[in-house]
Amino acid sequence: MTVNGEVIAQLGTKVDPARDVVAVDGTPIQPPAPRTLMLNKPAGYLTTRSDPHARDTVMSLVPEIPGLHPIGRLDKDTTGLLLLTNDGALTNALTHPRHRVKKTYHVWVQEVPTERAARVLMTGVEIEGKKTAPAQVEVLRVDKHRTLLAITIHEGRKRQLRLMCAAIGHPVISLTRVSLGPLVLGHLKAGKWRDLSPAEVQALFRAAGVTERRE
């Protein structure tokens, strides 16, 4: 194998597919074309590439694409907008904490939160010994024994919204991600996916404050 014309004999040599030319027996290896999908994740699917217990994963809902992986995670019972990509630069841009990409969820909670409880969500809730960053909270609908909230956060802690709502005494009934950065789930049906356009991918990089490296 050669990298940029130089023979590589050491295992573990790192290369940048966007800049380095890798060849085997003189034949250049072309990296897979970057591709990013939006999936409307149904409940009951794990957000992982594989599961040792043979449970259903989101990979069974999308086509087989070399290097495809989920960007971040949604809990098994959480539904909605999930991105999958084979573009490592995009994954890093959207998951690195310093980029603070916003995510909005529609959250049905038990009973009707008071204004004080909503303020606690907006100013930060201590979960597992650490206070969450301030969230944006909007009441969308109030029924007799449940309330639909739109909650926007930029963190990605495990089961964060479920823990936040439980901490204020209003456990989550159901949870759906409806937007990520500039992307909106829209009318994509549960279990269905679509390709992102180049313009949408560029918009995601801009939302993360990152300049996309490819032309």
Q: What is the pLDDT of residues 159-189, one digit of tens each?
A: 999 999 999 999 999 999 999 999 999 999 9
In terms of DSSP bridges, do strands 79-85 and 172-180 run parallel, antiparallel, or are they unpaired? parallel
In angstroms, the CA 206 to CA 156 distance is 19
The sign of the dihedral angle between the CA atoms of 39, 44, 46, 49 is negative
Residue 20 known to be catalytic = no
In angstroms, the CA 132 to CA 124 distance is 5
Q: Confidence band (pLDDT; 50, 70, 90) for 53?
A: confident
* Pairwise pLDDT comparison (38 vs 2), residue with the higher score: 38
| DSSP alpha helix (H) spans, the chain | 88-95, 115-123, 160-167, 198-207
> Domain 102-180 carries which CATH code?
3.30.70.1560
Task: Say yes or no: do domains 36-97+182-207 and 102-180 share a fold.
Answer: yes
Catalytic, out of 75, 77, 87, 143: 75
Q: Does 206 have pLDDT greater than 60?
A: yes
* Pairwise pLDDT comparison (14 vs 90), residue with the higher score: 90
pTM of the model: 0.85
Q: Position 55: which residue type?
A: R
Q: Does 19 have pLDDT greater than 60?
A: no
Identify the three-state secondary structure at position 86.
coil
Q: Where are the domains of the chain?
A: 1-31, 36-97+182-207, 102-180
Instruction: Write out pLDDT tens, residues 123-167.
Output: 999 998 999 999 999 999 999 899 999 999 999 889 999 999 999
Q: Which listed CATH number (3.30.70.890, 3.30.70.580, 3.40.640.10, 3.90.226.10) goes with 36-97+182-207?
A: 3.30.70.580
Length of the chain: 215
Over range 112-118, report the average pLDDT.
95
